[in-house]
Structures are given as structure tokens and as C-alpha cells.
Amino acid sequence: MKNLVVLSGAGMSAESGISTFRDAGGLWDQYPVEQVATPEGYARNPELVIRFYNERRKQLLTVEPNEGHLGVAALEEEFNVTVVTQNVDNLHERAGSTHVIHLHGELTKVCSSLNPNNPNYIRELKPEEYEVHLGDLAGDGSQLRPFIVWFGEAVPQIEVAIDYVKQADILVIIGTSLNVYPAAGLLHYAPRTADIYLIDPAPVDAHTQRPIHLIRKGASAGVKELRELLKH
């Protein structure tokens, strides 16, 4: 079976009703990034940050995977599929994808404030636990914080993602502006022989001279077209 790697961004989940950060009216318009997505913002006002991610978690209970997520999961019937996502939602998993690498963390998990990447203190929350409070502590006695990679923090999973992209026969990029590094640089690790598909209704600068199969559609329609193309 060929190795197929999907790199997905906010556009992947937009059709499910998950607010994107960058679009007009998106989350960054309502909450400045410095307040809710940096270590400094968390240090300054942990209560605001915890509340912000509580709201994001509760939104997960109101949305479903879209046809794009389901189509990506269905690709596992014909390919070794690895999903590398910039999204912190769990929609790929809920759609049935079995191998998902989250570059920017996971909304449904919490971790230690002192050592966010220590696996001993990373915990998956059940839906009834989605409301985290100041005073809820990790196993090391520090405040539980969202298991999210904030701006200015290292991206621990990037090396893992690079290893998979290096072995890709097919790389599919869905719903990402390719402006957020280090994720945007993953394309450059794809082998010269790999076929590259880019699914996005808007123009995307891939910062490469390589031939790319462009599918100018949203995630659901784009993945449907991709699956047809891959059959030939």
C-alpha cells in the first residue's frame, strides 16, 4: 500500500462549524492572540485562558465531522494514511481516522502548567469534564492547563510529522494557508517522487516550484474529487 499523508488546517473543520482563527470575524477578532494563545497571556490571566478553552471544548459537543473528514478516514481502505493536523479538535478521530498527529495540541486534553509535554500529566477529558476550573491540579501539583501548543512554544510533534512526510508517496494538503510555521514547511520534506494535492477554495501560495494538483474546492467536495482522482 502507498503511504498517503494528509496535512489539514482550519479549512478542514470550517464546514463542521468550527470557528477559524484567521478569517474575518474569526476567533482572533474576538480574542487577541496574545491573550489566549501565548504563555504570557496564560501567566497574566489564567482564568480567561481556561474559560476560552472551556468554550472551545463545549463547541465540540455541537459539531460533527463533515464529509471531508469522513472521506479522509475512508482513504485508509486503500492507503497507509497518516493525518498531520494543525487543528486541535477531535473531528478526524471521530470520523474514523486511526493515525492522527496533532501538531498544535488537542482540545480534549489537559496537562501540567509546569511541564506541558510530560506524558505522565497529560489527561484526556470526558465530555462531562470539559469545564476546567482554576484550582484543578495536574499530578505534579500545578494548575491543569489546556494541552495546546501556544505561539512561542516548541512544536514537539513536528519531527514525527517530518518523518512521515519524508516517506509519503502522496501528500494531500487541505484547508491550510501554509503560513503557519513549522507546519507550512512540511511540504518541503516530501520526496521528489511524491504526488502533491492541494485542496482549498482560495488561492494558496505553496512556496514551491513543484507541480501540485490543485483542487479549488472546500474540504468535503475537494476530498470527494481527490478520491475519484486517486482511483485512476
69-73, Cβ contacts within 8 angstroms, sequence gap of 24 or more: 69/12, 69/13, 69/16, 69/94, 69/95, 69/97, 69/219, 70/95, 70/96, 71/220, 71/223, 71/224, 71/226, 71/227, 72/6, 72/8, 72/97, 72/174, 72/223, 73/97
Q: What is the pLDDT of residue 223?
A: 98
Q: Specify the 3-state DSSP secondary structure of 76.
A: helix
Q: What are 136's three cell numbers?
A: 484543578
Strands, E assignment, the chain: 3-8, 80-85, 100-102, 105-112, 123-124, 144-148, 170-174, 195-199, 213-215
Max mean pLDDT range (20-24, 34-38, 149-153): 149-153
Nearest to 84 by CA among 192, 180, 16: 180
In the residue annotation, 133 being an active-site residue is answered as no
Q: In this prediction, what percent of the chain has a pLDDT beyond 70?
A: 95
Sign of the alpha-carbon dihedral angle for 135, 141, 145, 147: negative
Across 70-87, average pLDDT? 97
Above 90 in pLDDT, residue 209? no
Rounded-to-integer distance, Cα 28 and Cα 35, Å = 10
Q: What are 60's three cell numbers?
A: 465540540
Q: What is the pLDDT of residue 24?
A: 47
Above 90 in pLDDT, residue 49? yes
Across 141-150, average pLDDT? 96
Across 213-218, average pLDDT? 95
Catalytic residue among 104, 133, 188, 232: 104
Model pLDDT for residues 89-98, shown as the tens digit of each residue: 999 999 999 9
Q: What is the pLDDT of residue 29?
A: 55
pTM exceeds cut of 0.85 = yes
Domains along the sequence of the chain with CATH:
1-18+65-104+154-232 (3.40.50.1220), 21-62+109-148 (3.30.1600.10)
Across 23-27, average pLDDT? 50
